Structure 1
Amino acid sequence: MTMLTRLLAVFATVTAGWAASEGELRLPVTYTAPKPGLVSLALYDDQGVLVRSLLSAAKVAAGPGTVTWDGTDDLGRAVKPGTYRAKGVSFPAAPALKWLMKVGKNGNPPWPTPDGHGGWGGNLAYPASITSNGTSAVMVWGCVEDNLITGVQEMDADGEITRRYHTFYPWDTRSASAMDAKNLYVGILSGDHGLEIAEYTLGEPRGRILCQLTTKKVKVPKGRWRGRDWNLVDGLAITADRIYATVAENGELFVIERATGKILDQVAIAKPYGVALAKDRLLVVSGEQVLTCGLDGKPTGVLVAKGQLQAPNAICVHADGTVYVGDSGRIGIDIEYEGGDKRIHVFSAAGKPLRTIGKPGGAPRSGRWDPSALGDITGLCIAPGGKALLVTDVATGFLRTSRWSLSGTLEKEWFGRKLENYSDQINPARPDELIKIGGPLDDPLTFQAWQFDVAKKTWRPAWRYTMPYANCWQQDVVGGYMHGGNPLKDEQGELLPWPIFGWNDGSLRTYKGKNYLLSDEGSLWQYGPDQAPRLVAMVFPHHCERQGERIQTYYDQGPNNWFTWADRNQDQRVQIDETVVTSEPAHLAGSRRIPTMWFGEQLEIYYLRMIEPDAVSKQQTRLGMLPLKELTADGVPVYDWSQAKDLPGDLRVPDLRGGDGTKQISSAWITAPIAAGDSWYTLIDVGCAQPLKLPGIDGDGWWAGRNWRKKIARWDRAPGRCLWAVGRRAPGVA
């Protein structure tokens, strides 16, 4: 691999206000490849911050080459005048990787590619809407955007991605969309700018903000983001000269001049969700009915009266006048909201009921996956060609885009996944089942499984369970600790204790016929495809203190006390007489906390406890084991911290510096250990001490620092020496 470096000057005559989207600026960036092969090339500012990715493993010939730059960063924003340096790497051949499959995500291929055709959907939240102009379709996903994954993809009726469109902010929420043969429009929520409508020229990946809606934000009522200021553009429709945008929470239908973005009128309509054009009139989902409106936005009548729909949301109209309404999907503001009958209702142009699409009762939030059942329907459109229906929904927690015949037969489906900070898990006794354990920081809490077959290279959704966010606390008996590094707040802005009774990342094991999860906060659960996870025990990995009939917990301070709990009466509630507090155990003295725990074959618990760094070895952890003390007749495991002991073979993290050699390691977390013979296999989460300012995510923030580099590592189990660690830097991937 050869490093390439060249200086590029952007002169002061180039101002920050140029119209980059109009193609007015084209600056040549030259390089010289020593040999034919592949080149990756990027631009950095005078502080060494990555500004724009120009080439990603692009095939080149030996000798000089030139790439043009339009003066924007990876998010399409005009850069400031200044001096920018091009850095690159040249390598003769692509890395020899053998991909088998990417479980839970479709695409051709199912991973990001430089041309934007790979992968599926976005990487955050859920598929929010889908629209078509009869020739192609555009799907809109929540996304932490980078230069490869944008969350706004154009595709054909068979799901082949043809183009991606960039939005405008590192953090935003996308919702409704509409398109015709010329333009695409997307509703966007930005924390600083409120609700906006973006306009794109089809075929051009970078668009513009056309207008800002004069509407107020509302408070999220419950769940992970309870109390946060929020709102959504719930529906978009267009004519040759007008745009219609609905905001259900505030009861508003905006009529906008398409050429200028000027708001012409703001019509009051009760709870307007989806909106669609039906020849010379508008159809607006309002509360539990569908209204007809003139092209001035004013209601003129009722197409579908109350009593036929429960909680309608998305709507679309076929060229023959047939109307399709999704009766569910109002989860944008309240992720825990559940309403509607989770079917698509089909009406004639006159509002006569014709048929329904989807299994009666729909897909449950928790339970086994059923492809014939629809869940929370977030978007509908007539597929290119007019012979099918494209649907985006969240069905039993799986993020799906599907194609249905107009008569209601499922023809094809595609799936996407959110980005994850932690790896999925496999229970050794259930090797064909991959499980995502989404804890209290997920939206919503998710315990989700896919069935997969390595030999056949196939996978499918299997089952999923969720629980209310409020169940993550039992403050009456166990007071959660305050997490200074990642504080949580309630709707009044007051600090919340850490939700220690969530599932969270952890370890899986089957023992004596029952399946167990051990979360990284020490809660133990029994689980299965046909059983919602049941809380059965706690092995708390932080300091604590008994205060009367209550236990108060601490993050990495407090007395050298540690508690366990076993749910002997099987009510999933901690009773103080079911707990055991071990005071001043000598083998845990000096321990700050226990950040990593995992099951052994006999349900013993291995752990790495954090200590103050050793002056000689610099070691910051010690390996230990807590044996299973008892297993009740009902399968409740019982532990006692007084029986814990240190083990030989502490896992010692090697020097992981790499790349340009300038990044310093601030932390290295060992997660997801797997025992195999005389070795441990783990992931290493590496934090960076310097500001990274990665494009497309939160720059120097929590995700950027935690995801500077992830590696798979193998350790010699006896001495704890790292034998190898392999991985890659992952800019723009959180």
Structure 2
Amino acid sequence: MPVPDEVVIDGNLADWDLSGQTLMCYDLESLQDVCSAKVAVMYDAANLYISVHFADTTPMGNRHDPRYQAHKAWAGDSVQVRFKTERISHITAWYFAGEKKPGFYLDRGKDLNTPFGGGAETLFHQEGWKLERGVETAYQKDSDEQGYVQEMKLPWSLVTDRKYEAGDQLQLGFELFWGQGDWPSHRYADNLSEGANGREFFFTNHKGWGDLILEAEGNLNLPKPAWMKRQIEGQPTGPVEIEYELSKDGKVTLAIDDSDGRRVRNLIAAQSRTAGKNIEKWDGLDDAGTPVLPGDYRFHVLTHDGIHLKYALSFANPGNPTWSTDDGRGAFYGDHTAPQAAAAAGKFVALATPMGEAGKHLIATDLDGQRLWGLSNRVAFDGGHISLATDGTTLWVGTEGKQSLIYRVTLADGSYVPWGIVQKDNDGHEFRPVDLVVSELPGLAAAKAEANLRSIAWHHDVLAAAFARENEVRLYHAVTGELLSRIAIDEPKSVAYTSQSELLVLSKGRILIVDDKAGIRPFTTQTHADAWGLAVGADGRVYLSVRGTDQNVKVFSADGKPLREIGKRGGRPHHGQFIAGAMRQPAGIAIDSRNHLWVTEETENPKRTSVWNVDSGGLLKDLSGTTSYAGAGTVNPYDPSMGFADDTVYRLDWETGTSKPIYSVGKTENPDDLFPPSVHNLTSRVVQKNGLLYVYTTGAGRGSSDVHCTVFDGTHWRSVAHTGVVGHGQANQGRFSKYEHLFAGRDRQRYSWADENGDGLVQESELQFARIKINDQPVDLRSFYWGQLPDTDGTITYAVKNRQELVQFPVAGYTKAGAPIYDITKPHIVRPDREIIGGGNGEGQIIGGSNGRIYINQDPLIMVEPSGRVVGGYPNRHLSVHGSHRAKAARSGYLIGPSSFLGVIQVGDESKDEAGEIFCLNGNLGENYLFTHDGLFVQSLFRDTRGYSEKPARAERGMSLDATTAGGESFGGNFIRTAEGKTYLTNGGTDARVIEVTGLESIRRISGKFTYTHAEFAEAQTLLSQKLAETSAPKAFTVPRGTANVDGEATEWPALMDDEQLAMNVQENTRQRYARVLARYDDQNLYLAYRVFAPRSAMKNVGQDDRLLFKTGDAVDLMIGPDGAKDDAGNLRLLMTFKDRKTPIAVLNVKKAPGAAASEKFDFSSPWRTISFDRVVVTRGVTLASAGTQGGFIVEASIPWNEIGITPESGLKLKADVGVLFSDGGTQTVSRQYWSNKATGLVNDIPGEADLVPAGWGTFTLE
């Protein structure tokens, strides 16, 4: 809107024209009152004005200081506005609660295709609400403190050199953030361009930022937005009525099978229905939107009282609670790396891991181990070594990743403390730095060398730092960071100060005293080659952590005499019974004010910090955990007192809700340990046979072909079996390098190992190799990204590349050591009764159930019986991580990013109309999904991360977790049922959180038959024509005879402007339309008319290379070819547009054109593939015209049949598709929308955008 009058930036919007205000919210039902924003924009000749009225229950709580954390300010209450003019700019604006003043950060793109890298600056506060460069930002809380207004005045010069005026437009995207900690509690991106749907990485998805249109006049009278109508999307409609009766109210799922038992439609999913007679309507379409034929059908109803989640207990994390909380006290430290550093003074202890993602790498606790706060790495994913020092008020953090840095935080609350020196940035602004670069050598992450900055220690405003690779200890002023002196010492590994102000240095296993007057002398006569870290108590005693054969902490008197050892000498094993009174890989240590010793132990199975009594040497506290990133855990269904997480076995006490590690599972020191044991790798499958417990794990990504089996014999865990494939060229690389004599020449061969002698090690006689054959033809087996897990009998199933069979390896027997034998020379072939390998991105998984059932996570999600009969078939269009990024808002029955099967259980007997076998799938954006064995959706569990979810501040056993979220990328976990009939789901971010699942016993089944009549079929066809936007099925259109005067007007095409009449609709649904298209023909020409819905009245395309006009702006498209063409013979594309809005052009793309001139050939290439076309030429015979119309523009085209190589005749069927390409104002294509082919979201891959996909086209039939 234009500014109505002078605007005062004060946080009060009374002087605003809010007629164009837009509500931005992910989920109106749950978030409108707590996490939404009303956004308005005004302008004048000099400035752009933006107001954001946030709904926020904890308003204006951002703690990021503009002086030191401007680049991270988005991690709390803030807004980011992304501009694309002639350059890309990003602003972050927030209210800094710490000093009650505005913050503002401006980041720029390198160019129009590189959204970052062009420089950044912080605009600092001056007075009132004014900042530098003419920016003003004001904030005002709502009177009820349930929200706040953010009002901004931004000079145009910040984002453009152009003089914008009424009628102009630019691209503008918003990212809204809520939160008071160091990570957003909620985030939402909005104002997307037409057809764009990528919100997950909105900051780089500049092609998806929407339009900002500068209106000439204000006080608009806009129609009510769709959200105000409270429309129910996806409610089934249609001519077919399916009747059933419920004995009580409940959740209902209904699916339809044809007479052959094939799943046709999943009609409703866990919808609430009332007792008595119920009727569901069906439109005669299958799940793909394709009409099905009249005939006999069967329906299956699943009903239940509702499935609920109750918190049971947690393990593998010492936090209280074990999950992150808004007050920062929940969870513990990092996930990707083990604890390595400790410091203590006063009331606090600080602990750190070098790097964390879901877990904070740096935390502070009280003296009892209760976390108080946590901080993420200063640079994301950067950290290799860390050390800490404190005076009880300030915490110094020495970290080395790509660089060696020291920074400071307040120990009480984790707020950053800048160094006491003043520097100037490139713009001349004075600032006090947070990061002090202390070495010119590259850090260990960059140099791929041992850490240089090994240790820091504080004493009386002096900070000592040990640089091992530089053979030097340097002393810095602890406040200013000024370098005071250098001390040459060989390979200093740790430093500490004594109570007598003497500096101790650990050098080559010796503790030295460094004295300015007396020089360097030994502190003790002892040498420990594997010594690691130093600490000094208030009583002067010196503590030394030692690895190697000792694995404990040595204690010395103040004068260097050995006093005792803490921790059992020899330590606890990497593989074996967990010894609580022993250590392993002790690293950084500290003595707290209670004179207790804190030891970080740098192990992963488990991660551990232990606390010890320094006098008795007894263990006081065992802080075991956290898990790996999204690692979660498993509860043993045969013995629920046993839990698994990160190759650690825990004893679970269900009475008290506590746990403790009892066994570490891992690789031994023996070089023949090729396949070390494992009890949990994100997911696992527990099988009990012959009195032994077997745990199966699988790999992911490059290791997805592997399946490993570890056995528990009642006392010990050991590897017993493994199967996989020798990757191409890997016979002498990586894990196989020690076994070149075994694997050489075995590229791409399947291998299987079964332990014969019980040593858990690989001998040549225990290995078997084979090339798998089907019908005597060699085949390659296919693993989905997340691998495969066996069925209840241990049978492992693989897909086959480029074939529709499944290959199974059943257990052929057991060795005398109890190892299951997989005879890969005798695979069992399952031949499904229909195609089973569907769509998706390959990021799925296979798991076996009971009675030989096979479940495949793909699109569609299916089950295959041992006979090959395929059961079920559920739409699964957003597989795993990458698929979830394109998902719409969560709704019941809509699968968002399922990756892995968490487990398969039995609940009742399906033959008695009970649930039967149920499996659980995880989801990438916070939900989990339950299904029956025959593909009936039971219910989703948890909440989508993008919407509202609860985050309990305390762990109360039995509390409901229904409204919580499993979190983003919640890869790990398990779903089991105990012999006592209890069902548990384990998930977690950095913990193994055990949740009881209730309500499964209430599941009941109802089934029945009905006939879909010819009359209903005819009615359904009419309905389909009216609702083309609700289907992605292959489309059909009858092209009538007729002619047209190509003038760009719709006069001769009245149906084009009448939404009630039949047309080819290019749309997602009736509220997201892109175009209506009509066609007619005569003997000479095919005529097309496009009504394009757009915020502009003409196409614009600025491309210079005619062959790539589909990349550079607006266009309309025709794909056409013979029906049933093979190898793309005759298939072509005709792209039509106007260059610079005035020059019509039509480009013909023919993939296969025998005899075409070599000069017409063109290769469409990207960095990873090339697709060739025989002919790519500008065709002169096409007549093209366009004109503006209400809500967009009209495009008319006359296309000579001889230009496209088709001879028209009545009844001729052609494969065809029509579409529209939208741009970001005419420079780059950001959205591709088509009538038939809906797999057109790709806008960043030239070959993929150029290619012809006739399988996705509809059908033209000439009248």
Fold similarity call, TM over 0.5: yes
8 Å Cα contact 1:380-1:390 kept in structure 2: yes
Q: Closer, same or farther in 2 for the Cα pair 1:659/1:637, shift >3 Å?
A: closer
Query: Are residue 140 (structure 1) and residue 359 (structure 2) matched?
Result: no
Q: Closer, same or farther in 2 for the Cα pair 1:305/1:549, shift >3 Å?
A: closer
Query: Are residue 661 (structure 1) and residue 846 (structure 2) matched?
Result: no
8 Å Cα contact 1:714-1:725 kept in structure 2: yes
Q: Closer, same or farther in 2 for the Cα pair 1:420/1:159, shift >3 Å?
A: same
**Residues 574-625 of structure 1: CA distance to partner in whole angstroms, max 9, x if unpaired?**
55983343313599979643554323333333x3637779xxxxxxx98775
Residue number among 932, 936, 959 corresponding to 1:716 in the alignment: 932
2:799 maps to amino acid: R
**Aligned counterpart, 1:633:** 816
Query: Distance in 2 between the 1:23 and 1:371 partners?
Result: 59
Q: Closer, same or farther in 2 for the Cα pair 1:185/1:398, shift >3 Å?
A: same
1:516 maps to amino acid: Y
1:510-659 equivalences under 5 Å are: 510-520=688-698, 521-528=705-712, 530-538=715-723, 540=725, 552-554=746-748, 564-567=752-755, 572-574=762-764, 578-584=768-774, 592-593=782-783, 595-605=786-796, 607=797, 609=799, 625-639=808-822, 640=824, 642-645=827-830, 647=865, 648-649=870-871, 652=874, 654=876
Q: Closer, same or farther in 2 for the Cα pair 1:541/1:231, shift >3 Å?
A: closer
Q: Closer, same or farther in 2 for the Cα pair 1:163/1:251, shift >3 Å?
A: same
**Aligned counterpart, 2:1093:** none
Q: Closer, same or farther in 2 for the Cα pair 1:635/1:321, shift >3 Å?
A: closer
**Residues 514-548 of structure 1: CA distance to partner in whole angstroms, max 9, x if unpaired?**
33343323344343374452343426599999999
SS at match of 1:673: strand
Query: Distance in 2 between the 1:432 and 1:260 partners?
Result: 54
1:53 Cα deviation from its structure 2 partner:
3.4
Residue number among 346, 358, 364 corresponding to 1:154 in the alignment: 364
8 Å Cα contact 1:313-1:378 kept in structure 2: yes
2:606 maps to amino acid: F
1:270 maps to amino acid: D
**Aligned counterpart, 2:512:** 291
Q: Which runs of 5+ in 2 are unaligned?
A: 1-29, 40-51, 53-80, 82-90, 94-102, 107-120, 132-136, 153-170, 187-208, 213-306, 419-433, 699-704, 732-740, 833-864, 879-883, 908-915, 946-966, 970-988, 991-1263
**Residues 312-367 of structure 1: CA distance to partner in whole angstroms, max 9, x if unpaired?**
22211122212122223xxxxxxxxxx15122211111111122211222222221
8 Å Cα contact 2:544-2:554 kept in structure 1: yes
Q: Closer, same or farther in 2 for the Cα pair 1:596/1:722, shift >3 Å?
A: farther
Query: Distance in 1 between the 2:606 and 2:752 partners?
Result: 34
1:406 maps to amino acid: V
1:207-286 equivalences under 5 Å are: 207-208=417-418, 209-214=434-439, 216-217=441-442, 228-229=448-449, 231=451, 233-278=453-498, 279-286=500-507
* 631-640 vs 131-140, greater mean Cα deviation: 631-640
1:301 Cα deviation from its structure 2 partner:
0.9
8 Å Cα contact 1:542-1:592 kept in structure 2: no
8 Å Cα contact 2:341-2:388 kept in structure 1: yes
* 263-272 vs 285-294, greater mean Cα deviation: 263-272
Query: Distance in 2 between the 1:318 and 1:501 partners?
Result: 40
Query: Distance in 1 between the 2:486 and 2:719 partners?
Result: 49
2:386 maps to amino acid: S
8 Å Cα contact 1:175-1:186 kept in structure 2: yes
**Aligned counterpart, 1:53:** 179
Structure showing greater radius of gyration is 2
8 Å Cα contact 2:333-2:374 kept in structure 1: no
Query: Distance in 1 between the 2:649 and 2:444 partners?
Result: 32
Query: Distance in 2 between the 1:270 and 1:397 partners?
Result: 33
8 Å Cα contact 1:274-1:284 kept in structure 2: yes
8 Å Cα contact 2:344-2:390 kept in structure 1: yes
Query: Distance in 1 between the 2:320 and 2:472 partners?
Result: 40
**Aligned counterpart, 1:333:** none
**Residues 637-679 of structure 1: CA distance to partner in whole angstroms, max 9, x if unpaired?**
2334532425233664545679992799996433333232422
Q: Closer, same or farther in 2 for the Cα pair 1:590/1:667, shift >3 Å?
A: farther
1:214 Cα deviation from its structure 2 partner:
1.9
**Aligned counterpart, 1:115:** 327
Residue number among 725, 728, 731 corresponding to 2:940 in the alignment: 725
Query: Distance in 2 between the 1:58 and 1:219 partners?
Result: 33
* 175-184 vs 50-59, greater mean Cα deviation: 50-59
1:600 maps to amino acid: D
Q: Closer, same or farther in 2 for the Cα pair 1:582/1:167, shift >3 Å?
A: closer
8 Å Cα contact 2:452-2:470 kept in structure 1: no
**Residues 370-395 of structure 1: CA distance to partner in whole angstroms, max 9, x if unpaired?**
111122211222213x4322222246
Query: Are residue 682 (structure 1) and residue 928 (structure 2) matched?
Result: no
1:397 maps to amino acid: N
Query: Are residue 451 (structure 1) and residue 663 (structure 2) matched?
Result: no
**Aligned counterpart, 1:489:** none
Q: Closer, same or farther in 2 for the Cα pair 1:169/1:32, shift >3 Å?
A: same
Aligned-pair identity (%): 18
**Residues 416-452 of structure 1: CA distance to partner in whole angstroms, max 9, x if unpaired?**
3133345523443343222235xxxxxxxxx321121
Residue number among 589, 596, 612 corresponding to 1:388 in the alignment: 596
**Residues 233-275 of structure 1: CA distance to partner in whole angstroms, max 9, x if unpaired?**
3211123332111133443312223233233334331232221
Q: Closer, same or farther in 2 for the Cα pair 1:201/1:536, shift >3 Å?
A: closer
8 Å Cα contact 2:405-2:435 kept in structure 1: yes
Query: Distance in 1 between the 2:449 and 2:555 partners?
Result: 35
**Aligned counterpart, 1:2:** 31
**Aligned counterpart, 1:169:** 379
**Aligned counterpart, 1:335:** none
SS at match of 2:495: strand
8 Å Cα contact 1:143-1:151 kept in structure 2: yes
Query: Distance in 1 between the 2:742 and 2:399 partners?
Result: 51
Query: Are residue 200 (structure 1) and residue 409 (structure 2) matched?
Result: yes
**Residues 84-117 of structure 1: CA distance to partner in whole angstroms, max 9, x if unpaired?**
x9xxxxxxxxx99632222111222221100101
Q: Closer, same or farther in 2 for the Cα pair 1:24/1:381, shift >3 Å?
A: farther
CA RMSD of aligned residues (A): 4.7
SS at match of 2:314: coil
**Aligned counterpart, 2:606:** 398
Query: Distance in 1 between the 2:602 and 2:782 partners?
Result: 41
Query: Are residue 131 (structure 1) and residue 343 (structure 2) matched?
Result: yes
> Normalized per residue, which structure has more helix?
2
8 Å Cα contact 1:673-1:682 kept in structure 2: yes
SS at match of 1:362: coil
Query: Are residue 315 (structure 1) and residue 531 (structure 2) matched?
Result: no
Residue number among 388, 401, 422 corresponding to 1:190 in the alignment: 401
SS at match of 1:114: coil
Q: Closer, same or farther in 2 for the Cα pair 1:676/1:21, shift >3 Å?
A: farther
Count of aligned pairs: 606
2:706 maps to amino acid: G
- The normalised TM-score by structure 1 is 0.70
SS at match of 2:827: helix
- The normalised TM-score by structure 2 is 0.43
Q: Which runs of 5+ in 1 are unaligned?
A: 60-81, 86-94, 329-338, 438-446, 475-498, 555-560, 614-620, 687-708
